[in-house]
Amino acid sequence: MTQNNEQVEKLKLDQVGKEVCVPAGVRVVRQGEIPRHFYVVLSGKLKVYRETDDGIRTDLTVLGPGSYFGEVALVAGKPRTASVEALEESTLLEITKEEFERVLDQNPQLARQIIYSLSQWLVEGDKRLEQETVHQVKLRQISWFDYFLILGLSLVLALVFNLYNDNQIPLIHSVGDISGIEQVSLPQALELYKKKEAIFVDARKSNFYEQSHIKGSLNLPLLFFDLQYPMFQFMLEQEKVPPDEPLLVYGGTPSRRFDLELAELLKEKDHKVMVLSGDYQAWKKAFPLGGQPGKKVSAMPLGLAGYIEWLPVSIFLLILIPPVRRSPYLSVACRIVLGVIFVQFALSKIMRPAVFALNVVDYAMMPSWGVNLWALFLPWAELLAGLFLVLGIRTRAAATIIGGMNIIFIIGLVHVIMQGLPITCGCVGEAGEPVTWWKVLKNAGMLVMALQIFLYDRLFVLDRGGFIWRERKI
Amino acid sequence: MNKKLALMAAASLVLGGLLVLGCGESRQPYAGNYRSLEPYAGKGHVELELKENGEATWKLAQEGMSVKFKWRVEDGQLWFYTKEGGIIHANPTEGGQKLTVDMTGQWHPSCPKEYCIIFQRVKGGGS
């Protein structure tokens, strides 16, 4: 710097150039323009940066008093390689190309100084290039550790939270003692039905019962047993059922033994109870049916959450435009939208896992031993993956996990539509929204967003190798 | 470093906002004791106590049996949560003097008549 100052003083003594005052924010030199001047900073502060055609900036350095710029393009005889902008009001010594060349001829000390500076730039440029290459390679690396981190942490948090949650649920749902309950085969049950020797009780939720049930059966949903039992007694009285008439319970699903649990509770109330054994679905083909097949489920309006869910569909359309598809800025937008949606999904389920467990049961795809584990684990995985996306941590792994969840959701939703199950989605909010092909499209949109993040995300990320605030194009 | 902090602060604000949105409304206007009018009136009525702390009791007068559950308020509607994970929606009417409880466990725009229990507010309770 001392040497630089000496050179500046010398240039002043030689009465070379003219002093110019530059207000803050003014661009003194523009990248790509033909060079006409060399500049020496007398006072103030200026920023040197490069900018790509699509507006991505790389800040190179900040210059202060004694520094100079503009020499690279003049020496190389090529357009300006970077732009320079005043960060504060600055005074510069502006030297024309002709004066600069004359000074270089007459002042070998200054010429050496400039060669030294150019060499320094070259070395620094090489270092920067190496750093950036390493960083880009690291950004694209995904390791099993990333997945282990997100999924493992989700599992640990889910288990610990469940320990202290007021609404705690057992890790594996178990049916109590059912040893004393008589199991009745389908032919035996048909016989009882024909002879009217038993009252048939459907243990499923009312929406399933309303859609299809054994004709003449009564509905006592296991979930509301304590609250609805008086209503059930009232119905038995209305039907003039003798107190010793056996109750034959049916309505299990692959995901939960509603029938066995209800039978156990009714037995505790001193009823004579039997359970229909064998295939869960077999009664639908063997018995005369009542109900309204295809009856639509009422779904509570979701409000703001419902509108936010449409964003993936609009982003899905943006992704169809080729130049936009690869934009890292689109990746950032996708990360924020997807992250917020998944955090919102998670928060609506985390506090009451029992409610979400019943939503899982409704899909009738999960074995009963896995229902509670899934209901505990999934919201935490959604929360962590969503947070990682928003904060820019392990974004490729987080996007993969979210994409995986979307595939599971799409399979579940298509299954519900194809089977005509009378359920709500249970995706966000406890009342849920209807399961339609639109819902499938929204999930497909989110899947495409996850894919876009996986392939093109590289801005504003906290990752191995540090924090990238701006993209540097190599 | 400042940019990192700004990003963290922005993310915290977003999450904080979501958490605040998820907290629900005050239970105070609806906390209190209720007694069933239809279809269980007289001796076989049901007593419902909603406490301001989110706990609730459903008591069958005839059997003397009571069931505890939790409740919250959202958009002026009451949500009852059973231990097994069932949700029952209740709609306050007549300025909170009556509660229409939908026993289907599903949300309906209006309570289906055959699954509806209407409660009348009585004095006391709620704290």
Give yes or no for residue B15 having a pLDDT over 70: no
> Counting Cβ atoms within 10 Å, is residue A160 exposed (0-12), middle (13-18) or buried (19+)?
exposed
What is the least distance, in Å, from the CA of A119 to any CA of chain B? Answer: 30
The lowest-confidence range among A22-31, A193-202, A462-471 is: A462-471
The answer to whether residue B48 sits within a structural domain is: yes
Tokens representing residue A17 in the block: 């150039």
Averaged pLDDT, A87-116: 87
Amino acid symbol at B116: C
Measured CA to CA, the distance from residue A377 to residue A382 in angstroms comes to 9
Averaged pLDDT, B113-117: 82
Nearest to A438 by CA among A323, A310, A311, A278: A310
Band of pLDDT at residue B125, cut at 50, 70 and 90: low
CATH tag, A2-137? 2.60.120.10
Give yes or no for residue A47 having a pLDDT over 90: yes
Band of pLDDT at residue A471, cut at 50, 70 and 90: very low
Band of pLDDT at residue A389, cut at 50, 70 and 90: very high
What's the domain range around B70?
27-122
Which residues are CB-neighbours of A150 under 8 A, at least 6 positions away? A381, A384, A385, A388, A394, A397, A398, A401
Band of pLDDT at residue A112, cut at 50, 70 and 90: confident
DSSP A373-401: HHHHHHHHHHHHHHHHHHHTBSHHHHHHH
Could you tell me the sign of the dihedral formed by the alpha carbons of A191, A193, A197, A198, in that order?
positive
For the ranges A7-11, A157-161, A283-287, B81-85, the one whose mean pLDDT is highest:
A157-161
Could you tell me the sign of the dihedral formed by the alpha carbons of A235, A237, A240, A245, in that order?
positive
pLDDT at A81: 87
Band of pLDDT at residue A200, cut at 50, 70 and 90: very high
A224 → closest Cβ in B7, B15, B86: B86
Amino acid symbol at A341: I
- As for how many domains chain B has, the answer is 1
pLDDT at B1: 46
The answer to whether residue B101 sits within a structural domain is: yes
What is the least distance, in Å, from the CA of B124 to any CA of chain A? Answer: 22
Angle at Cα A363 formed by Cα B91 and Cα A348, nearest 5°?
50
Give the nearest chain B residue to A469 (CA atoms). Answer: B3
Which residues in chain B touch residue A268, judged by CB atoms under 8 angstroms apart?
Answer: none
Which residues in chain B touch residue A231, judged by CB atoms under 8 angstroms apart?
Answer: 39, 103
B105 → closest Cβ in A224, A340, A469: A224
CB atoms within 10 A of CB A239: 11
- On whether the CB atoms of residues A468 and A458 are closer than 8 A, the answer is yes
Averaged pLDDT, A248-271: 88
Amino acid symbol at A435: V
Helices (H), chain B: 2-21
The answer to whether residue B32 sits within a structural domain is: yes
Rg (C-alpha) for chain A, rounded Å, is: 36
B4 → closest Cβ in A228, A300, A467: A467
pLDDT at A474: 34
A391 → closest Cβ in B11, B82, B104: B11
The matching CATH number, chosen from 3.40.50.2300, 3.30.420.40, 1.10.260.40, 3.40.250.10, for A182-290 is 3.40.250.10
**With the CA atoms of A301, A305, A307 and A311 taken in that order, what torsion angle do they form, in degrees rounded to the nearest 10?**
-150
Measured CA to CA, the distance from residue B35 to residue B58 in angstroms comes to 10
Query: Which of left, alpha, beta for A14 (phi over 0: left; psi -120 to 50: alpha)?
Result: alpha
What is the least distance, in Å, from the CA of A375 to any CA of chain B? Answer: 11
The answer to whether residue B84 sits within a structural domain is: yes
Give yes or no for residue A288 having a pLDDT over 90: yes
Band of pLDDT at residue B42, cut at 50, 70 and 90: low
What is the residue extent of each domain of chain A?
2-137, 142-170+299-468, 182-290
DSSP A286-301: HS-EES-TTPPPP---
Averaged pLDDT, A399-422: 94
What is the least distance, in Å, from the CA of B59 to any CA of chain A? Answer: 9
How far, in Å, are A50, A319, A377, A454, B31 from residue A323 at the CA level? 22, 9, 38, 17, 57
Average pLDDT of chain A is 85
Instruction: Please count the residue pairs, one from chain A and one from chain B, whose beta carbons lie less than 8 angstroms apart.
Output: 97
Which residues in chain B touch residue A460, judged by CB atoms under 8 angstroms apart?
Answer: 7
Tokens representing residue A402 in the block: 């979210």
Q: Is A262 helix (H, G, I), strand (E, B) or coil?
A: helix
Which CATH number characterizes residue B101's domain?
2.40.128
Give yes or no for residue B121 having a pLDDT over 50: yes
Q: What number of CA atoms fall less than 13 Å from residue A247's CA on the CB side? A: 28
The answer to whether residue B9 sits within a structural domain is: no
